[in-house]
Amino acid sequence: MENKSESNNRSLKVILGIAVALLLGTIFYTFNLKNETDATTQQLTEEKTLVLKDLSNMAEQYDVAIGDNEVANEKLVEARERIQGLMDSLKVSDNNVKSLWRYKKKFLTLQDEMDNLLAENDSLKVENALLATVLDSTKTQLNERTIFNDSLLAQNTDLANIVENAAVLSTVGLKGFGVIVRTSGKLIETERARRADKLRVCYTVSKNKLVVDGDKEFFVQVLDPKDNVLGLNEQIQFEDQVLNYSLISKFNYESDNLDICEFVESIGDAGFEKGRYIINVFDQNNLVSTTQFSLK
């Protein structure tokens, strides 16, 4: 009987020893796992901070480039706004590898875009300086915006020549702005939201010898600062896609460049709000061109 009792005691001691070892192992594993998790979280936080710092530096470079021109390059302004949007999104994003990697990829894409835009901006400044030296006394009274827009029009014309072999219509020079409508019918451009009676959307349909002449139409979508669709705000179905549009821009295409301007009304009698407006032009459900402008 005593031998049996001693055997049971030894068994209990062995079991107890195993249980203690497992408990200590679990505590050790949990402690290491927590330390690894804390280290990973700290590393991701540090990397997130570095990406934000890189984006901030990139934004400062755009600010310098934009500040060099009294009339800011619209491409630089739009790129600067995209960087700010990415920074705002990154600040509230989750600290995980997948999320951080996605933002790093976007940063690298924006870095390449910035290099190209800044090089293009430097080239444009040189071209403008050379043009200014040969303009006569009348032409020298034109402001830098006219010169800049002429340069953009030349670039858009070159781009149109590249895609003219595609049997689709394209647009260049898309822009939007507020206008004051006088009783005489005269239009005065304004950047003040409270003074604007309507929004005016203008663009040029580029000639394309592969497109058959005849009646054509584009769907124009204008979004206010709250992403409301202005104008008609009607829907059209394209297979499994629905498009909300502000107006249908109809025109007769005759194998030549065609300048088109349309008007967009505000929602009800509330007028227009301050902020950024987005204009999208669609050929059926295909986005042809897009741009942005702001009202103060």
**Which pLDDT tens digit goes with each residue over 256-290?**
999 999 999 888 777 899 999 999 999 999 999 99
The tokens 């179905």 sit on which residue? 237
Is the Cβ–Cβ distance between 193 and 176 less than 8 Å?
no
Tally: H helices and E strands in the chain: 4, 10
Q: Count CB atoms within 10 A of the CB of residue 286.
A: 10
pLDDT at 144 over 70: no
User: Mean pLDDT across the stretch 121-142?
Assistant: 60
Higher-confidence residue of 23 and 279: namely 279
Q: What is the pLDDT of residues 69-127, one digit of tens each?
A: 655 567 777 777 887 877 777 676 665 656 666 766 776 777 777 777 677 766 666 66
The pLDDT tens digits for 189-240 are: 999 999 999 999 999 999 998 899 999 999 999 999 999 999 999 999 998 8
Domain locations along the chain = 2-118, 169-295
3-state secondary structure 138-203: CHHHCCHHHHHHHHHHHHHHHHHHHCCCCCCCCEEEEEEEEEEECCCCCEEEECCHHHCCEEEEEE
Second CATH level (architecture) for the domain 169-295: Sandwich (2.60)
C-alpha to C-alpha distance for 240 and 184, rounded to whole angstroms: 46
